[in-house]
Structure 1
Amino acid sequence: MSAEIHRLRDRACDSEKITINLGYVDLGHIDLLVREGFYSNRTDMIRTAIRNQLGRHAEAVQQTIVRQTLEIGLRHFSLADLEKVRDAGEKLSIKVIGLAIIADDVPCELACATIETITVLGTLQASKAVKTALADRIR
């Protein structure tokens, strides 16, 4: 299959918004650090803290990625990609850390015929119909 894997960069268009709840004291500490100029804003501080924790656990994460054969970055599955899989009589086990995209023109029947399982640690983008059709295969 000729689909490519792309490394994602930390840009606004390559990110997903999350919501977290913090205690008032923790939030106050963050605001203090921002006010004192350590960080430009709350988001900057939280991103930095998350990256620091990911860095602390980088070896364990890398070992898990190798052990579970996960692909990192952007993985796009086009209509042509899935037709090749079907024509070869194969099925995919999709495992991605990052963003997995199933093209909008992929019909539910083709997705069901070619995708055995989907594990995405990050975001899965696909039509609502395809997500519904594959719901029992999404881990």
Structure 2
Amino acid sequence: MPSSSLSTQPRAKPPAESEKITINLGYIDLGQVDLLVAEGFYSNRTDFIRTAIRNQLTTHGDAVKQVVARKTLVLGLQSFGVAELEAARSAGQMLDIRVLGLASIASDVSVELALATIQSITVLGALQASAAVKAALASRIH
């Protein structure tokens, strides 16, 4: 019987597809949401909230596009790995990361490399990075 080897190295966790948020609603608003769910308009509270958020984003879509263009934000996902940051360091560049969505700094990026290459981070959405890198860059995160 062939033997198989198991890797003892931890697997990198894939980036989350969404970010969990918590909101507080008044009892009347919550009751109305529950009523719409009970009547079958939405499958659950989360479905209602996601739909409401998407509707508001659609309503304000032009304003979002104008702000993204004015602030030169990257819209969507922007990832930074060791290779990208080493290239920036070799070129003598400091990065100003500006993202509307998800900014991700790879888990193998060292604190030293992050500090040497990232001048500032502005994220409207979520920032994924190791706890050590986030702590080291705390004063540069806006």
Report the Cα distance in structure 2 between the residues aligned to 1:108 and 1:29, rounded to whole angstroms: 48
What is the CA-CA distance between 1:112 and the residue it aligns to? 0.7
Report the Cα distance in structure 1 between the residues aligned to 2:42 and 2:109, rounded to whole angstroms: 44
Counterpart AA for 1:63: Q
Residue matched to 1:116: 119
Larger RCO (CA within 8 A; separation ≥ 6): 1
Unpaired segments ≥5 residues, structure 2? 1-15
What is the CA-CA distance between 1:36 and the residue it aligns to? 1.1
- The residue matched to 1:47 in structure 2 has which SS? helix
Report the Cα distance in structure 2 between the residues aligned to 1:37 and 1:107, rounded to whole angstroms: 50
Counterpart AA for 1:75: Q
Tell me whether 1:87 sits opposite 2:93 in the alignment.
Answer: no
- The residue matched to 2:66 in structure 1 has which SS? helix
Q: Under a length normalisation based on structure 2, what TM-score does the superposition of the two structures give?
A: 0.87
Q: Under a length normalisation based on structure 1, what TM-score does the superposition of the two structures give?
A: 0.89
Tell me whether 1:73 sits opposite 2:76 in the alignment.
Answer: yes
Residue matched to 1:32: 35
- The residue matched to 2:92 in structure 1 has which SS? coil
Residue matched to 2:19: 16
Residue matched to 2:56: 53
Report the Cα distance in structure 2 between the residues aligned to 1:132 and 1:15, rounded to whole angstroms: 22
Note the alpha carbon deviations across 1:113-134, whole angstroms, 9 max, x for none: 1101000111111111111111
**Alignment RMSD:** 0.8
What is the CA-CA distance between 1:107 and the residue it aligns to? 1.0
Report the Cα distance in structure 1 between the residues aligned to 2:138 and 2:109, rounded to whole angstroms: 16
- The residue matched to 2:34 in structure 1 has which SS? helix
Higher-Rg structure is 2
- The residue matched to 2:104 in structure 1 has which SS? strand
Q: How does 1:92-111 map to 2 (within 5 A)?
A: 92-111=95-114
Counterpart AA for 2:50: R
- Alignment size in residue pairs: 127
Report the Cα distance in structure 2 between the residues aligned to 1:17 and 1:128, rounded to whole angstroms: 18
What is the CA-CA distance between 1:109 and the residue it aligns to? 1.1
Report the Cα distance in structure 1 between the residues aligned to 2:56 and 2:105, rounded to whole angstroms: 31
Report the Cα distance in structure 2 between the residues aligned to 1:128 and 1:36, rounded to whole angstroms: 44
What is the CA-CA distance between 1:99 and the residue it aligns to? 1.0
Residue matched to 1:7: none
Moved over 4 A (4+): none
- The residue matched to 2:20 in structure 1 has which SS? coil
